[in-house]
Structure 1
Amino acid sequence: ADCIFCTKPQEQRDRENFILRRGHHGFIMLNAYPYNNGHLLIVPYAHVPTLEQLDEATAAELMLLTQRGISALRRAMSPEGFNVGANVGKAAGAGIADHVHIHVVPRWTGDTNFMPVVGSVRLIPELLECTYDKLIAAGIAQP
């Protein structure tokens, strides 16, 4: 099975793949299965399973991309807080365990702590395309 974090950036179809910003060592994309509106993934280009396998330049850039994502989410969606972290390994809940990535999840008081699941469909009221456009308008891709 191909790794989506490796194949999506190669396709050069950033809007369709919800890639919001590219750096030298990693990129920001919307999570296609968000816990909340605006759920970002900060992903290195390097296909490694753990954070400590990233080189220093990549690790540093991922934190800068995380900051950039948070700033754009603040401007676009006015969240009251954020969950930021990585699920490293299957035991920790990683959906794609072979390619480490950082989650940035905007939070609001009363957002029911990662949205209820009803009939196996997550309740996400905002379309990904709409969220993508809001974040682009908020300058997430600007230098």
Structure 2
Amino acid sequence: MEKLWSPWRSAYIDSFKSEKTENNCIFCNAINEDISSVNSLLIKKFEHTLVMLNLYPYNSGHLLIVPKRHTSDFLTLSDEELLEVNRVTKLSITALKQIMNPNGINYGANLGKAAGAGIEDHIHFHIVPRWIGDSNFMPVLGEVKVISQDLLDTKKKLIEAFAIL
């Protein structure tokens, strides 16, 4: 069986251990951020959801689709929220394909700590562009993940792509 290692992920998970209240929720705080700010990872705001870059991406263009309502339980999402998550996911994949031309896409959610959720208190969905050969020896041997594109460059391109969708 092949294994996909992500040793950098533990630093990401550890960074949220003390953030347990809604006021400290990175996703809830993002709702009020200015998309044009270089300190914000937001790409686009919709009525019920946000699209943002992952600060600790598995690959360039790793997006998060985040319902605005603070909940950890998938089953509490309304039909409107679920429909918008799916519509925004489709738009996000379209934008990623236009600007990055990936060979594939991973899409999904880690529901709960046991499932690998780094931020388990606010449900979110991952969209990870993939390319043939995008995993190599660096993360395993060097404990370094090579990201081929700057987050701000990726953000700018995605904002432009969303503007025409």
Fold similarity call, TM over 0.5: yes
Q: Which residue is 1:71 aligned to?
A: 94
User: More strand by proportion, 1 or 2?
Assistant: 1
Larger Rg: 2
Q: String of CA shifts for 1:45-86, please: whole Å, max 9, x gaps.
A: 011112111111011101111001000000000001100000
TM-score (norm 2): 0.79
Q: Within 1, Cα distance between the matches of 2:140 and 2:86?
A: 31
Q: String of CA shifts for 1:94-125, please: whole Å, max 9, x gaps.
A: 00000000000001111118x72565442212
Percentage of identical aligned residues: 46
Q: Which residue is 1:31 aligned to?
A: 54
Q: How has the CA–CA distance of structure 1 residues 119 and 58 changed in structure 2, closer, same or farther, with 3 Å as cutoff?
A: same
Aligned residue pairs: how many? 141
Q: Within 1, Cα distance between the matches of 2:80 and 2:56?
A: 29
Residues 109, 126 of structure 2: 8 Å contact kept: yes
TM-score (norm 1): 0.90
**Which SS does the other structure have where 1:38 is aligned?**
coil
1:52 aligns with 2:75: yes
Residues 27, 43 of structure 1: 8 Å contact kept: yes
For the aligned residue pairs, the C-alpha RMSD in angstroms reads 1.8
4+ residue segments displaced more than 6 Å: none
Unaligned runs of 5+ in 1: none
Q: Within 2, Cα distance between the matches of 1:142 and 1:85?
A: 25
Unaligned runs of 5+ in 2: 1-18
Q: Which residue is 1:97 aligned to?
A: 120
